[in-house]
Amino acid sequence: MTQERWEKLDVWRQADEMAYQVYIITKRFPKEEIYGITSQLRRAALSIPTNIVEGTLERRSRIRTISECELRSLAEVKYLIYFAHRLSYLSGEEYAVLKTGYDKLGKSFGSSTKRLRMSFIASRLPSFPALLCFAF
């Protein structure tokens, strides 16, 4: 079985694992929150790896996706886990694990975005020998 393009991305693997952790942990949230914080947190967490998958269709859209969609969802997840902790839906340890994981994911977005922008710019530049022709 061949691996999908997005499955090769470290940032996708991190986002996928974090979404998985959110789903596992939120199973214990109060039943009255099923349409509230549980649903919203799960949707926000799952939208991050989903947007990465969608963004692998084209390099240019990948840059836009990281800089907009995923960062918004990341901020939403971070607030929702903070709020869930305030409500005592998350233990201190669970909160720390999720917060650390999402902080690390945010740093990975920054690194991935920079690499993708440089790769995109490089793909649009003429080759090195062509630049030499214009230098003289």
Q: For the chain, which domains are there?
A: 5-135 (1.20.1440.60)
According to the model, what pLDDT value does residue 93 have?
97
First to last CA, the chain: 52
According to the model, what pLDDT value does residue 4 have?
81
Quote the CA–CA distance of 48 and 51 in Å, as a whole number. Answer: 5
Looking at residue 129, its amino acid is P
Long-range pairs, 90-95, Cβ under 8 A, ≥24: 90/25, 94/25
Residue 119 pLDDT class (50, 70, 90 cuts): very low
Q: List Cα–Cα distances, 127 to 50, 69, 79, 114, in angstroms.
A: 34, 33, 45, 21
